[in-house]
């Protein structure tokens, strides 16, 4: 009899098993895991590799190549700053520096209180309202340092509630 899987791996199995027969199933599996759990746990890599008859190195290479995939659980909220050219031309680099200082963390890190994970994104399709950020699933345009501070204050209030 097989040993019982830990809860997170049970969830991974439930997410990836229906996708095994898809052509090029690696990316759909990784998206399903990230969408379902919020990140791709390291323990998922051997499961995907086994089900797709790939090496662990091949799956790990895909996970680490794409910035989209998180390897650790994110904070309660995810804030992404657009780094595309239009946003950069409208002050995104200064906004990035302000965000890092304000949050006390860098890209792919989470604030000490666990409230906010900071990530880079390379186009939100909101170029006319640059610089733009995405807060969880909501895009916010024309983000100044002051507007960023307002958004973060709201997120922190919500995280404490």
Domain region containing 114: 77-160
Whether 70 and 34 have beta carbons less than 8 Å apart is answered as yes
4-25 tens-digit pLDDT: 878 999 999 999 999 999 999 9
75-127 tens-digit pLDDT: 999 999 999 999 999 999 999 999 999 999 999 999 999 999 999 999 999 99
Pairwise CA distance, residues 87 & 117, whole Å: 20
For the chain, what is the mean pLDDT?
95
Are residues 113 and 93 located together in one domain of the fold? yes
Q: Read off the pLDDT of each residue in 38-46 and give the average, rounded to a whole number.
A: 96
Residue 72 lies in a domain: no
Residue 89 lies in a domain: yes
Q: How many residues does the chain have?
A: 161
Residue 141 lies in a domain: yes
Cα within 13 Å of Cα(84), Cβ side: 16
Are residues 50 and 87 located together in one domain of the fold? no
Pairwise CA distance, residues 103 & 117, whole Å: 9
Are residues 21 and 81 located together in one domain of the fold? no
DSSP secondary structure string for all residues of 71-131: SS---SEEEEEE-SHHHHHTTHHHHHHHHHHHHT--TTEE-TTSSEEEEEES--S-GGG-S
Residue 71 lies in a domain: no
Residue 17 DSSP one-character state = G
131-155 tens-digit pLDDT: 999 999 999 999 999 999 999 999 9
């Amino acid at each position: 009899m097989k040993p019982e899987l830990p809860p997170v791996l049970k969830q991974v199995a439930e997410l990836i098993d229906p996708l095994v027969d898809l052509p090029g199933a690696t990316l759909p599996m990784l998206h399903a895991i990230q969408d379902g759990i919020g990140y791709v746990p390291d323990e998922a890599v051997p499961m995907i590799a086994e089900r797709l008859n790939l090496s662990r190195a091949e799956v790990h290479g895909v996970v680490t190549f794409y910035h989209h995939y998180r390897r650790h659980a994110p904070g309660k909220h995810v804030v992404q700053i657009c780094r595309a050219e239009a946003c950069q031309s409208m002050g995104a680099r200064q906004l990035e520096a302000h965000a890092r200082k304000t949050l006390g963390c860098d890209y792919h890190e989470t604030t000490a209180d666990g409230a906010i994970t900071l990530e880079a994104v390379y186009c939100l399709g909101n170029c006319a309202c640059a610089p733009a950020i995405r807060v969880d699933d909501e895009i916010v345009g024309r983000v100044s340092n002051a507007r960023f501070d307002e958004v973060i204050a709201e997120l922190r209030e919500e995280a404490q509630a």
